[in-house]
Structure 1
Amino acid sequence: MPDDQVIQTTVALDGDGTCIAQARHLSADFLTRAQAEYGLPVSQRAIDLAQLVVSELVTNARKYAPGPVLMELRIVGDLVEVVVWDSDPVLPVARAADAGRVGQHGLEIVMTVAKGFQAQREPVGKRITARIPLRNELERALTDHRAV
């Protein structure tokens, strides 16, 4: 794939009860297509983690912000960026670890599995970006070793 080519998709989710499942399916389809059409090395772990991150971020957007949610998926180098925009300008804050707390662990999960995380205010609302490696470290090391 040429360096200047960007593989991406953007979708507006209406925020109803089906949007979380829809977003998960879209992320898996996006990565599967990127693998099939562009020959990108996308691990099953990357697909699973992208679905998890999408689920958590879209769930939070649906829970805390009125109106639609925009989700963008794009391949940047050896990462997939999951970008979720919602209309609430309040930036999320990870809570302190608490084994007794039930629920509200979504942001902790995202920050644990993502290689990078960013939350920024927009003129309207906020944009959350999480970056996930397309291959896990073991796969990358084995592939790089074989290439030598």
Structure 2
Amino acid sequence: MSYSQNAEKLEEYTASNGVTYKIGDEIKLGRGSDTNGKFVYANVGGWAVSTNPEDNRLGAANAGLIVTVKKINKYNHKRYKGVYFIVGGGNITNYTLDIENAIQSCEVENCAQESQTVTTDKYDQLAKLKKLLDDGVLSVEEYELEKKKILNDN
């Protein structure tokens, strides 16, 4: 399926995770989000594409692979929308990376769930700390010291 004529070519793209990606940048893949560990949003591209979409998914063994951004394309076709990176993983085959869905599913590092986890963990820790103060387990001084550590670490 070729939508290249409908692609807006970008030099850089600021994604929902706050990272501005540019051509030449490296991205570390996270884990595949499919139940079998395969990647859903990172697929084989170029000459090696199979007619079976399942065959195009990167396998679970590619977790941690560092890929280089070669092209950034933005599509606004009625059935094909979003920002897709053409990336290389050090071999002769290029891959297509649906960057926003990869961020949401943590198929790339610096993903949405990682930033939510840090925020949630910080507030969970503060709530537990406050309960220890309220229950008399911690003194006010101990509470303030621990609270400061949590806030400074995050």
Higher helix residue share: 1
TM-score normalized by the length of structure 2: 0.31
TM-score normalized by the length of structure 1: 0.32
